Amino acid sequence: MSVDAAPVSELPDPRDFGLPVVTEDDLPDELGTLVARVHDLVDAVAHTEAGSAELAQASATVHELTERLNVKRRDIGAMLERPRSDGGADYETLTNVVSGRSNPAAPPLVLEHTDDGVRARVTLNGTYQGPPGLAHGGWVAAMLDQVLGSASAAAGMVGLTANLDVNYRNPTPLNAPLELTARVTGTERRKVFVSAEIRHNGEVTAEGTAVMVRLDVPG
Ligand SMILES: CCCCCCCCCC(=O)SCCNC(=O)CCNC(=O)[C@H](O)C(C)(C)COP(=O)(O)OP(=O)(O)OC[C@H]1O[C@@H](n2cnc3c(N)ncnc32)[C@H](O)[C@@H]1OP(=O)(O)O
């Protein structure tokens, strides 16, 4: 496959797309704690067998908290800027539903760069359930989509998924450590070809390939 969509060393700055950018210093430590606790709260709500009085009280407390937090809201599309060791910057969508730092709905997926792409580790709790006791196939696809996009971005080619193919090889378990890996396999003009796998205990549960179409900076 030809390689004519040359990777760029400088990732596009989200500000050039009109997106708001926040830095890690802009995020209080308490936000991370709140996100983790609300993530656990969702799991608790999904599985609680508490009685009606307790449920009514919890519901009122949550409603009051929602109103307090909504007093000051961040714009949608906010990007988190993270400094790289080489002086450049990495960017991630702050409320990305798979890996967003401020999104309690995110699994949470911890992603790192590797020599040939990216690797992520995640444990899905019971709120990602599809078939009884197993991860929902849509979430499996969403996690693959995320690492596929991240592998393209890590190679300097930020893009949108144009096509995603998923093969479900084995059931993906809940409440068990999963490893995701992804890499760029080729490029052709603006197209970036990427492949990824999800493994549990070394066994592939799902694999995906995608065509990302690289974004051009406006102007
Ligand atoms: C820092 C951020 C980290 C990133 C992580 C993000 C992970 C999450 C990834 C996502 O979830 S992205 C969200 C889901 N995807 C979308 O919403 C994309 C919706 N589709 C579009 O916006 C456009 O169709 C798209 C930008 C993908 C392409 O439109 P363009 O007008 O820019 O491209 P164009 O149609 O000119 O096609 C460019 C090339 O891509 C090819 N192409 C387009 N659609 C295709 C397709 N569906 N399958 C295969 N190839 C496709 C097309 O043939 C052509 O190839 P050639 O260079 O060989 O001529």
Give the sheet arrangement for strand 79-83, strand by strand. Answer: 21-23, 79-83, 89-93
Topology (CATH) of 106-214: Thiol Ester Dehydrase; Chain A (3.10.129)
Distance from Cα 117 to the centre of ligand 1, integer Å: 20
The helix/strand/coil state of 38 is helix
Distance from Cα 40 to the centre of ligand 1, integer Å: 35
Cα–Cα distance between 163 and 29 in angstroms, integer? 37
Q: What are phi and psi of 113, to 5 degrees?
A: -80, 145
Looking at ligand 1, which atom is closest to the CA of residue 159? 4
Cα–Cα distance between 13 and 26 in angstroms, integer? 18
Is any ligand 1 atom within 6 A of the Cβ of residue 154?
A: no
The reported pLDDT for the residue numbered 10 is 60
Question: Under a CB-based contact definition with an 8 Å cutoff, are residues 212 and 160 in contact?
Answer: yes
Q: Which residues does the annotation mark as catalytic?
A: 145
Q: Establish whether this prediction's ipTM goes over 0.90.
A: yes
The reported pLDDT for the residue numbered 86 is 80
Is any ligand 1 atom within 6 A of the Cβ of residue 189?
A: yes
Q: What are the per-10-residue average pLDDT scores of the chain (219 residues)?
A: 47 87 94 97 98 98 98 93 84 94 92 94 97 97 98 94 98 98 97 98 98 83
The reported pLDDT for the residue numbered 17 is 87
Spans of all domains in the chain: 106-214
